[in-house]
Amino acid sequence: MNIRVWFGVDVNYDQETLFNKSLDSLLTLYAKALTQYFHLEMINNVSELITVTKTKELDIGRRMFLDWLENAGLIEIKETITYTSVSRDNNIINEIEYEYYLLEDEMVYEPNEIRALLIRVVMGLFPRVKKIAEYEFSSFLVKMVFSTFEPSVAFATRNTWMPKVDSQYDVVYDDKEITRPIRPCA
Give per-residue pLDDT as tens, 53-63. 999 999 999 99
C-alpha–C-alpha distance, residues 68 and 73, integer Å: 6
| Alpha-carbon Rg for the chain in angstroms | 21
C-alpha–C-alpha distance, residues 134 and 139, integer Å: 8
The model's confidence at residue 32, banded by pLDDT at 50, 70 and 90, is very high
Closest CA to 30 of 64, 67, 81, 71: 81
C-alpha–C-alpha distance, residues 150 and 146, integer Å: 9
Long-range contacts of residues 124-128, Cβ cutoff 8 Å, at least 24 apart: 125/95, 125/96, 125/99, 126/76, 126/77, 126/79, 126/80, 127/76, 127/80, 128/92, 128/95
Q: Where are the domains of the chain?
A: 3-140, 150-186
What's the mean pLDDT when you consider all of the chain? Answer: 78
Give per-residue pLDDT as tens, 98-135. 999 999 999 988 877 899 999 999 998 888 888 877 77
The sign of the torsion formed by the CA atoms of 105, 52, 61, 82 equals positive
**What is the pTM (predicted TM-score) of this model?**
0.72
C-alpha–C-alpha distance, residues 92 and 79, integer Å: 17
